[in-house]
Structure 1
Amino acid sequence: MADLQFAFIRSGRELTLALTYNSEIFTAERAEGFLERLSSILAAMIENRPIAEILNPREAPRA
């Protein structure tokens, strides 16, 4: 098993994101945080917004 694995599952026009994680390394809260961040990034891409708008200052690219 991978330590962290994302799966994208398409059903018709719907896309589901699933996450499998190693609970010896990640807490449920941390894994949920990964899903929330990725969901936010994907939503920004769909809405054609700059991803930098949703990143916190530590994640934003430096000039």
Structure 2
Amino acid sequence: PMRDRQTVQQPEREFWVLKWIVPEDAPSGIVRYSVTAKDPEGRTGEWKPFDVEASQLTIVDN
């Protein structure tokens, strides 16, 4: 799960933290993803990274 890192002392911290362990058999290339969040009232919002290939999360061969 993702974790919100805002605190009462630092409400400007508008970022989330998570980790993803890349499977051994994952193919190389761009990883296309989006993030959907739901608040306590059930409202949702979606975020997607900019559609610029050079800035995308990319799996490369060693």
What TM-score comes out, normalization by structure 1 length? 0.32
1 or 2 for the larger relative contact order (CA 8 Å, sep ≥6)? Answer: 2
Relative to total residues, which structure has the larger helix share, 1 or 2?
1
Higher Rg = 2
What TM-score comes out, normalization by structure 2 length? 0.32
